[in-house]
Structure 1
Amino acid sequence: MKHTTKMKHLVSLLFAAGVFSTNASAADAANYINIQPRSVTNNSASVSGDYSVAIGVNTVSEGLSALAIGSSANAKGGSSIAIGANAVSTDTSSTAFGEQAKANGYHATSLGAKSSASAIGATAVGTGALSTGGSATAVGVNANASATGATALGLGSAATNGNAIALGTKANASAGAAVAVGPNAKASGISSVATGANADAAGLGSVASGMSSNAAGGASVALGRGASATEDLSVALGALSTTEAAVGTTEATVNGVTYSGFAGTSPVATVSVGSEGSERTITNVAAGRITADSTDAINGSQLYQVASRSNGNALAINNLNNRMDDMEDDLRAGIAGATALAFLQRPNEAGKSLVSAAVGGFRDQQALAIGYARNSDNNKWSIKAGVGVNTRKDVNWGGSVGYQW
């Protein structure tokens, strides 16, 4: 057969080089080839599968078309390959390459000293790499992919749950569909993503991106070095930004005036762009809608317009206050003037005249009045007139005529 012919050509080349000799205890079957180092005569290689090859001390090739090369290498599965001292491939089309490498799953591949691929379609590449999940892939020294569809790439990386991905030295994705990328990155929440050195995404569906970022809240997002989103649904944007618990605001009191009727009074989370003592401004914000139920952000230009109108109102109110103050002073001065006029004297005898002066005051205003009065000769008629001036420089006057009987 063609396959047998190729095997024999390979053996002929090895013999021609003077490296191998035969000890054909099983060579009576035409399709078996038994080869061992010429320096070893007592520890025979063992071949029991059609078209299989075993090369090395205590080497065993049991599967159909299997290949075992190396001391104590063992290729048990059909079309399996075990190359390296104590390498073992036990299932169909499995491949183990390296000292103590093990490929124990169907179509499993293990490359590297002490590497192990022990599930269907599993791949382990690197010294000590371990792939135990179906179709899992572990690449790197001591990398570990231990669940179905898991992928671990990097020194000491670990993907230990279904479809988890860990990329980077000691990256760890321990939850289903979690992704950890970067040295020591850790994704322990289901469907979480951690990218960056020491990033940690622990919340369900959380995202931590940036060195030492932390997303502990469910569905939380932390973006930036050292950013931390610890509450569910919260967002921390920028280096060292931190979130706090959301607080609803139903009313506010400013200068004794209470405002209420706000929209959006029951927030479920917060978005933070800084931390206490390290606040940031937000620029390039579009003008938000201004309605009774709007929850849009308001930018500086909108506040400027409100402030401008408010300033105009304040000026008008201030002018009105000044006018009212003037009116109050005028009123007080008028009362003072009336008081002064009221205290002007009149004569007591018939046919007499009297000139008098009087003062009056009310609050902080004062007035001076001067008057003239006369009684008729028969004392039945009397007249009285006066004029006054107050501290507001206003003049008031009065006069009267009386008849008695």
Structure 2
Amino acid sequence: MNRIHRVIWSKVSGTWCVVGELAKSRGTGKSLTQTRSHVTIAALTSLTGIMLSAPALANPSFINPDAVVLGTNANATGAKDVAIGTNAFSDTGSSPGTNPYNYGTVVGTGAIGLGGGNSVFGGGATASNGINNLPLRGTAIGASSNVSATYGTALGFGASADAAYATAIGTNSSTGGRANTVSFGSAANERQLTNVAAGSADTDAVNLSQLNSLSTTTSNGLTSLSTGLSTTNSSVTALSTSTSIGMTSLSTGLASLSTIIGTGANLSQITSNITSLSTGAASLSTTIKPLTDAAAAAAAKGASFTGTTLGAANADGTVQTRGATGTAVSNVAASACTNVSGVDATGAGLCAQATKDGATALGSNAQAMASNTTAVGFRALASQSGSVAIGNNAQATGDPTVAIGQNSLAAGNNAVALGAGAQATASNSVALGAGSVADQANTVSLGSAGSERRITNVAAGINPTDAVNMSQLNKVQDQLGEIKRIAYSGVAMSMAMSGAVTSALERGEGRVGVGIGSYQGYGALALQFRAKSSSGNNTWGLGVSTTGSTWGLSAGIDFKVW
């Protein structure tokens, strides 16, 4: 009797099928070998009797050899992970180790588990913390369910557990970002919890029966409380009488106090306090004057003012600065030297200039002088439309350019300078790294004359314009060395062959010549045999030469024409 234990390829259905032991496979024989290598898949197929299309068994995209993968484009990268379903993906990275609690299991079309210890079941279900080398240990069960926090649990279609140790139960339930909670619904979509036993411990939930019992007890207590309040009301009446007498005494005391104030007692002290207040107000007026001046200046230019903290301020409201150039310190009025006048322009910093639409100048003496320019840092300058200058004295003066780093300069059109002191002065040039200089058009510089840099971690070039790495260069050098060896050996063998001379031949005579040759360190030996026919009408010869590893052969014959 046949036992169902084989998996073969069916040309008719185009699938892998479970069949009896006497059935034979036709076509794609090599895939059967692959099937045998996936013992788990073959066993599963044998037990369930399912049919799998060829892509489900051929070349699964798993990385870790201990993983179990089943499904088109399924992928399991962690040790002993399980990924079942089309596009199922389990990635525990380096987190699993030998701890079985960190192994991932993902089942369902498009299901994803990122991080150690996840259990994900359902189409489109996900458990991910965005970092594959940290344990998440989330559980997501249900299509489109999602767990995004440590030890979260989401059970039901669209359920979401987005806080640590939180559990969402039911379709579209959400934990709402609250850790250590259990949710049975979501905001405005709550659910009743039924069949709840009466709580007994302090942390147990209570049911409606317990709540109704509490209501009855409270009602009886309120009746007794009402009786007690009647007695209390009588006591309050007595208290009111006593309070009235006390208020009469208080009124008399206030009249006495009014008489004292009317006679001018302590008036000098009051006057002194008012004088002190006036002096403080005058001082405050001096302090806020720079602010009012700045606000007025901004309003005059159609701008608004927001406060900026400035260093080296003077008592008279002016501020010390070294200006856009030079080292000398001068005093300026902040409101007068700052200019933010373009539409959608922004300026912050002493004497910052943002004079065109969309310009942004941040920092003392930062200058964004054209539309949509950005200058950030002390003395940063962006002078052409769209240019960006970031860093102390960074200069983006080309059209448009980018200069990032202290004293960086991008002067050529469309140039980029990245790094302290980097200079890109030619059109379309790029200077990368501190002190790099790009002074030739359409070039990228990684240093300067005498201060060059290596480029590391370069992949092998593929396209004609790709850079090549040392590995590729070494291969070319090896190939050139082989070509040179062959060429030099050939020259040496040719010289040896030409040296294997023989004297003129008589009729019916044969001679042998031996020659040697040497070229560029390569030597060769040659042996040549020549003979003439007895009639004297034909001469023929055969020669061989060798370097010991390379051989050459020559042959020839002549005919007498007349």
User: What's the TM-score, normalizing by structure 2?
Assistant: 0.36
The structure with the larger Rg is 1
Which of 1 and 2 has higher RCO (CA within 8 Å, sep 6+)?
A: 1
Compute the TM-score of the two structures, normalised by the length of structure 1.
Answer: 0.48
Looking at secondary structure, tell me which structure has more helix per residue.
2
